Structure 1
Amino acid sequence: MTTTSSPTPVTPAENPTLPFWRTDLHELDEIRTTPELPETSDIVIIGGGYAGVSVAYHLVNSQPQNTPAPSITILEARQICSGATGRNGGHLRPDVYHATFQCMEQHGIEAATELAKFEVSHIPAVRDVIAKESIDCDFHLSRCMNVYLSDENAEKAKEIYDALHANGFPYADNLQYTPQTEAEKVSGVKYAKACISFTAGKLWAYKLVLGLLARIIKEDSVNVQTHTPVISVEADGADHLVHTPRGTIRTSKVVYTTNAYTAGLLPEYATTIVPCRGICCHIAIPETETAPYLEHSYALWNKEGKFDSYLISRPDGSIIVGGASTTFAHAKEQWYNMTDDSTLIEPTKNYWDGYMQRTFNGWEKSEAAVKEIWTGIMGYSYDIHPHIGEVPDKPGQYVCAGFNGHGMPVVFLSGKGIAEMIHTGKKFEEVGLPRVYRTSAERLQAAQEGPEGGSILA
């Protein structure tokens, strides 16, 4: 047998900070379908978050007719959706602007259009599956406001807006550019110099994932095991042996939906997907106070031209806000190659005190205050694109990871693509995924040979 995994796997911290999203837990949060691990399973999915559950959901719902359902086992090191998706900003935000323009410059208009189409398609896909499965997860459509507080960024925003129109980008009509004369009024953000808005959504992502799991757990073919970290994966002929502290499972196919922790089991991804720690909080106002309800969601760039924060409003008027990377980017030891989400980022833990009062008009006397604050570990890809598809030189092993803190408009349909590859044997290029997502030996090599951190530290 040939060992194909790191002897020192990277597993999540055992005592993570508590995010707002995990203050209302689902009954399946710590599910173990059976007391013991199955000895065999046709497919083993490593990771019980948005990606892992999405792959399993599509495997169950795209099962070819008149064929026996494959047995599927999901292994999760902690609780279901306790990683990045259970700690995010609740933002379903297709990036049809910055990322699209960057992709167009690097790979051409066809690749950029492909990427934007895929991300935009997540809004109806997520909306429809929520309706189909009757999942209560506070899903609402909105407009995301990219707000710029510097003249330089405002000018650059207009240049990108014009370039996308000039190149015939098909989603450009969904973009609304607002100049300085109206930007503060339209966005509600103090000192706004310009803003760009586009269709987005907001939701309680933990409840979406648990709702999907509740649907597929009804199938006898699905076995879910929480608190079961994977220690290693071994190739054994045409099969694989998945080792955990609770036993070993023999399987013909392995799917790594391990995001930030991927390199712990696939060491060849160590320079390609790097774990990076982020921080997020929940802000609320006292019942005796009022503030304007924010209909939009936001991404804000500060007066120095640096990205500041992203935020959404909850149905109750409270706010989820994260980011603040300018406060800790200089302290690399606080966030880069970091898998510990049990502590806060020291330079940032007080950043959002008074944030709403100093940022939004009408919030000055709201007494808005941080109620919960937490950290989470994201998987940052060297070239900013996730890695989807069959692991190079490892037949029967698939990866769906490296979402750069931008997984909500990427993961669900990537899971569908992986499921189709497994069910039908189709190649990556045949399942409708953006070309820039394809994991490959060339992308791994580029990360190994390039400067440390790649675009992460750029």
Structure 2
Amino acid sequence: MESSVEHLPSSLPVDNPTTPFWRTELHELDEHRSSPELPHKSDIVIIGAGHAGVSIAYHLLKSDKDAEGEPKSSITILEARQVCSGATGRNGGHLRPDLYGRIPKYMKRHGVEAAAEVGNFEVAHIQAFNKLISEENIDCDLVITRSMNVYLNADEANQARETYESLAAQGLSFTDDIQYTSGKLAEAASGIKDAKACLSCTAGSLWPYKLVTSLLTKVLETGAVNLQTLTPVTSVTSEAPDSHRVHTPRGSIRTKKVVYATNAYTFGLLPEYRESIVPCRGICCHIALPEGQEPPSVSYTYILGTEDRNGSSYLISRPDRTIIVGGAQKSFKGFRNQWYNVVDDSTLIEPARSYYDGYMQRTFRGWDTTDAHVKEIWTGIMGYSYDSLPHVSDIPGRPGQYICGGFDGHGMPIIFLAARGLAQMIRMGKKFEEVNLPRLYKSTAERLRAAQNGKEGGDILA
């Protein structure tokens, strides 16, 4: 019997999104279609051409060669809008392991060993990106530096110290890279006015759109991948574990395997994930100075708290010394209809519209007299996970179908190596437990039920 899942209203990206800084220099593949018509069939169909979808294709091709070195499987990537026009093309460009926010939470819920797997996995992305960019000769403005978590509230600073000491006491290897600074030294070390404490670790920044389009260029050069942009998927029907049909307004494709790299928009095609991966709108902006005005140096990336402990901001300094900063939850968290379960990135979050005006002047030492101003501001739709963990595995109850999503606004230190593990499952038929992914990433029926039966919003609204 054929089963069908139709997309729900308002489950597709809108046609006229705000323009992020990252998409101000468009690549020739931005609206690419490898063929005028959709292929009638493809061994693998990947839904989504952001960081996840393109990375999965890249890893599939790396592991899928015949004796002559030619790809054995055909792959089709379907994208509702342009390449990298979703969350990846709208994020903060921040490659940062979250070692003292999420990891302690996972330790309490799942134990030290499971939490350590996640921490080590995120840390491994620093070296993985270094290696990838070197081997593939990718120009995406990668800078490896340190990331500062800065605390402006004394109680929060004390909690940060306790967290650091608790992690160190567990003997976790990644704690060797964490440095805690408090008191008067915190402001000098971080460059942030009135800092009470800061924690730092190795991190990086990059131009995400350039990374994805560079990888996409590599996979298309093989001839094994057919990219179809401006082609939203409206439903997927399944006749057998190795026989699926992916439907679009331009026709349908028969395939053996389907990969959902749809993140925040997953619920439209997989309604069982409606409570597990919730679309949440965020805001980000690009801050620059007038031409000829030299900005003070900002050497690190940041997570910046607020004095009243009400939200935070993430920030990077680009090689051209302009700033990307986003978050601003303090300004809009109470206006739930502005951000929770929202898929429209065509308008700004109104309470946050002016939040970053004068932000550098009031936050960073040495910026007081500059004319730093918001040059571009945009919104993006993140896939927030009910339990703060991504879903990366085969899909429970749907043979031949796979998911890679729910990154909780934290995809950069998760996606690339997660895609490698998932590609091994898809290509080689390996089980989840055989591909070196953190055990907590597996999408299980138990996780889906917990989200469906748990308190509304889970971690998202906590």
**Could you say which TM-score interval applies, normalised by the shorter chain?**
over 0.9
Deviations 1:7-60 (A, max 9, x none): 426110100000000000111111100000000000000000000000000001
User: Which residue is 2:220 aligned to?
Assistant: 217
Deviations 1:306-348 (A, max 9, x none): 3321100011111000000111010000000000000000000
Q: Which of 320, 330, 335 is 1:331 aligned to?
A: 335
User: Which residue is 2:2 aligned to?
Assistant: 2
* 2:42 paired with 1:38: no
The aligned amino acid for 1:400 is: C
Alpha-carbon distance in 1 for matches of 2:170, 2:24: 46
Q: Which of 318, 323, 326 is 1:322 aligned to?
A: 326
Alpha-carbon distance in 2 for matches of 1:68, 1:119: 29
The aligned amino acid for 2:148 is: M
Stretch of structure 1 that moved more, 4-13 or 424-433: 4-13
Q: Shift of the alpha carbon at 1:286?
A: 1.1
Alpha-carbon distance in 2 for matches of 1:277, 1:118: 27
Contact 2:245 2:253 in 1 (8 A): yes
Q: Shift of the alpha carbon at 1:179?
A: 0.7
User: Which residue is 2:211 aligned to?
Assistant: 208
Alpha-carbon distance in 1 for matches of 2:329, 2:433: 35
Contact 2:71 2:224 in 1 (8 A): no
Q: Shift of the alpha carbon at 1:99?
A: 1.1
Q: Shift of the alpha carbon at 1:69?
A: 1.2
User: Which residue is 2:176 aligned to?
Assistant: 173
- Unpaired segments of 5 or more residues in structure 2? none
Stretch of structure 1 that moved more, 264-273 or 120-129: 120-129
User: Which residue is 1:350 aligned to?
Assistant: 354
SS at match of 1:321: strand
Deviations 1:270-313 (A, max 9, x none): 01100000000000011232231101000011111233211000
* Count of residue pairs the alignment pairs up: 458
User: Which residue is 1:266 aligned to?
Assistant: 270
Equivalences for residues 235-274 of structure 1 within 5 A: 235-237=238-240, 238-274=242-278
Alpha-carbon distance in 2 for matches of 1:176, 1:7: 47
Alpha-carbon distance in 2 for matches of 1:4, 1:393: 14
Deviations 1:413-434 (A, max 9, x none): 1111111001111111110100
SS at match of 1:211: helix
User: Which residue is 1:234 aligned to?
Assistant: 237
What is the TM-score of this pair, normalised by structure 1? 0.99
Alpha-carbon distance in 1 for matches of 2:7, 2:360: 46
Q: Shift of the alpha carbon at 1:167?
A: 1.1
Identity %: 59
Alpha-carbon distance in 2 for matches of 1:330, 1:338: 15
Alpha-carbon distance in 1 for matches of 2:314, 2:48: 26
Equivalences for residues 262-341 of structure 1 within 5 A: 262-341=266-345
The aligned amino acid for 1:126 is: F
The aligned amino acid for 2:364 is: F
The aligned amino acid for 2:93 is: G
Q: Shift of the alpha carbon at 1:367?
A: 0.4
Q: Which of 156, 161, 165 is 2:159 aligned to?
A: 156
Contact 2:384 2:407 in 1 (8 A): yes
Contact 2:71 2:222 in 1 (8 A): no
Deviations 1:82-121 (A, max 9, x none): 0000000000001122111111111111111110111011
Q: Shift of the alpha carbon at 1:64?
A: 4.8
Alpha-carbon distance in 2 for matches of 1:116, 1:7: 35
SS at match of 1:42: strand
Q: Shift of the alpha carbon at 1:62?
A: 1.1
Deviations 1:212-236 (A, max 9, x none): 0000101121100000000000002
User: Which residue is 2:401 aligned to?
Assistant: 397
User: Which residue is 1:61 aligned to?
Assistant: 62
Alpha-carbon distance in 2 for matches of 1:321, 1:429: 37
Equivalences for residues 352-431 of structure 1 within 5 A: 352-431=356-435
User: Which residue is 1:102 aligned to?
Assistant: 105
The aligned amino acid for 2:41 is: T
Contact 1:282 1:320 in 2 (8 A): yes
Alpha-carbon distance in 2 for matches of 1:444, 1:112: 20
Q: Shift of the alpha carbon at 1:68?
A: 5.6
What is the TM-score of this pair, normalised by structure 2? 0.98
Q: In angstroms, what is the RMSD of aligned CA positions?
A: 1.0
Alpha-carbon distance in 2 for matches of 1:150, 1:85: 31
Indicate how the Cα distance of structure 1 residues 362 and 68 shifts in structure 2: closer, same or farther if over 3 A, else same.
closer
The aligned amino acid for 2:182 is: P
Q: Which of 177, 187, 190 is 1:187 aligned to?
A: 190
After TM superposition, what 4+ stretches of structure 1 lie above 6 angstroms from structure 2? none
User: Which residue is 1:28 aligned to?
Assistant: 29
SS at match of 1:5: strand
Contact 1:6 1:267 in 2 (8 A): no
Q: Shift of the alpha carbon at 1:180?
A: 1.4
The aligned amino acid for 1:288 is: G
Contact 1:64 1:423 in 2 (8 A): no
Stretch of structure 1 that moved more, 393-402 or 93-102: 93-102
Alpha-carbon distance in 1 for matches of 2:130, 2:294: 30
Q: Shift of the alpha carbon at 1:384?
A: 0.2
Contact 1:94 1:119 in 2 (8 A): yes
Alpha-carbon distance in 2 for matches of 1:77, 1:96: 34
SS at match of 1:228: coil
Alpha-carbon distance in 1 for matches of 2:369, 2:5: 55
Indicate how the Cα distance of structure 1 residues 321 and 70 shifts in structure 2: closer, same or farther if over 3 A, else same.
same
Equivalences for residues 127-142 of structure 1 within 5 A: 127-142=130-145
SS at match of 2:6: coil
User: Which residue is 2:436 aligned to?
Assistant: 432
Alpha-carbon distance in 1 for matches of 2:72, 2:326: 41
User: Which residue is 1:144 aligned to?
Assistant: 147
Alpha-carbon distance in 2 for matches of 1:403, 1:217: 26
- Unpaired segments of 5 or more residues in structure 1? none
Alpha-carbon distance in 2 for matches of 1:2, 1:406: 36
Q: Shift of the alpha carbon at 1:133?
A: 1.2
Contact 1:4 1:266 in 2 (8 A): no
